[in-house]
Structure 1
Amino acid sequence: MDKAVVKDSVPVGFINTAVVVLGAAMGLLASLGLLETELGHLRDPDGALGCDLNSLISCGSSLMSPQAHLLTVPNSALGIAAFGALVAIGAVMLLGTRLSKPATMLLGLGSACGLVFVGYFLYQSATHFFALCPYCMVVWSATIIVSAVLIPAALTAFEGARAAGKTMLRYSWATIVCLHLVVFIVVLFTMTEQIGGLL
């Protein structure tokens, strides 16, 4: 590989790249499922929703809400585009292509924005919908997994943050576990009534 290309690229590693592909594939499948559910609801508004499992795990209250269409199109369509692109990029990386620093920074920024949206939708679920959409939770998990790799990778592109980025990349699994625990704790303490109704 050309030395100039190596110098201007960010090594992510095969395993971390595989984690990104796996996470993006999860998000893509969940987004497809959510979009299919919404289209089915539009065809048959009175039909039962397969994602309405109980009082806690349900998508009925959020499916057609403004929060689910932030840019006037279904959020699931945006998820399909974003996760689909990540699957494609990750597949190319698995074949040996190394992303340039600007591309890695862009992916890191996009992942950070994704985490912000996860926080926003978690807040909306706990305070407005009082239910958890199963497809959305898979998307949240996928976003956490992808972000735990791509944000540290983006940090390694900056001279002053390179060491921190490499350390975070090495322990991306810990970030994944911790962020999932945060989501679990938030749900546990903000949706006690819904959880209690299932017991």
Structure 2
Amino acid sequence: MPPRTIDSRPTVLAVWLVIAGVIGWIAAFALTTEKFHALANPDAGPASCDFSPLVQCTKNLDSWQGSVFGFPNPILGLTGWVASIVVGMAILAGARFARWFWLAFAAGITFAFGFVLWLIGQSIFSLGTLCPWCMVTWVVTIPTFYAVWV
């Protein structure tokens, strides 16, 4: 009987990356469609995620903080969360990544973590709002940062 080999794939991390990636991508997609809808129909009124003066998306999306790099921030989520899903699925399929890849992936996740912390501060202390879809992004970005680094 051949000796058993130990599977060292980070399966739990892979599953988390896929789940968090799908949840984060859905939130980014919802925010992106809200922004595009507002740009196409400026007189349409409040966004579908505006529930009160405290819980709303519009103030966040319309602020300068909502487009820090010259385009709506959720576009970063549309691309970044796809990377998370792809890495998770690749691990589940048996892929092994080089150390440089993990360092680059961790750097991207660290940027996302820092950016989300900054956006949390801006949303709460500067804008005085809580964006529902933004909060979904926060909830998956923060644990993803810790999961990748641990």
- Alignment TM-score, normalising by the size of structure 1: 0.68
Q: Distance in 1 between matches of 2:9 and 2:108?
A: 17
Q: Secondary structure at the match of 1:36?
A: helix
Q: Distance in 1 between matches of 2:28 and 2:144?
A: 15
Q: Distance in 2 between matches of 1:20 and 1:12?
A: 13
Structure 1 residues 73 and 12: CA distance shift in structure 2, 3 A: farther
- Partner of 1:22 in structure 2? 19
Aligned length: 142
Matched-pair contact (CA < 8 Å) for 1:57–1:134:
yes
Q: Which amino acid aligns with 1:64?
A: D
1:87 alignment partner, one of 82, 85, 88: 85
- Partner of 2:98 in structure 1? 100
Q: Distance in 2 between matches of 1:87 and 1:43?
A: 30
Gaps in structure 1 of 5+ consecutive residues: 1-10, 153-199
Matched-pair contact (CA < 8 Å) for 1:111–1:151:
no
Q: Distance in 2 between matches of 1:121 and 1:130?
A: 12
Matched-pair contact (CA < 8 Å) for 2:14–2:87:
no
- The root-mean-square deviation of aligned C-alpha atoms, in Å, is 1.3
Q: Which amino acid aligns with 1:131?
A: T
Q: Distance in 1 between matches of 2:91 and 2:68?
A: 31
Q: How many angstroms does 1:44 deviate by?
A: 1.4
| Percentage of identical aligned residues | 26
- Partner of 1:46 in structure 2? 43
Q: Distance in 2 between matches of 1:80 and 1:129?
A: 23
Q: Which amino acid aligns with 1:23?
A: A
- Partner of 2:4 in structure 1? none
Q: How many angstroms does 1:12 deviate by?
A: 5.2
Q: How many angstroms does 1:122 deviate by?
A: 0.9
Matched-pair contact (CA < 8 Å) for 1:24–1:146:
no
Q: How many angstroms does 1:55 deviate by?
A: 2.5
Gaps in structure 2 of 5+ consecutive residues: 1-7
Q: Distance in 2 between matches of 1:77 and 1:51?
A: 18
Q: Deviations over 1:79-120 (max 9, x none)?
A: 101111211121111111122111111111111111111111
